[in-house]
Amino acid sequence: MDARIPASVRDRLAAMGHELVVQEPTPDGNVYGWFGRVNAIRIDFKMGLIHGGSGPAWGTAAAGL
């Protein structure tokens, strides 16, 4: 997980049983080298629908087939 996530959030996730690997920025300060842009896809099997979204600041998109 991104080291910029507050320690309180990381601690809570660990308490819930999640194994965390905290990634610090690369030596050049690039925090995005470890992570993809924010995207999400939700599948509603009952309704037969796929919902997708992406962070508005990025040139990305979320899609499903």
Q: What is this structure's pTM?
A: 0.48
b/e burial code for range 42-59 (CB count within 10 A of at least 16 → b):
eeeeeeeeeeeebeeeee
Distance from the Cα of residue 56 to its chain's centroid: 14
For residue 56, the model assigns a pLDDT of: 67
Residue 59: both structure tokens together:
């040139």
Please write the tens of the pLDDT for every residue from 11-58.
999 999 999 998 887 777 666 666 666 678 889 999 999 888 877 666
Residue 7: both structure tokens together:
């320690």
HEC sequence for 49-65: EEEEEECCCCCCCCCCC
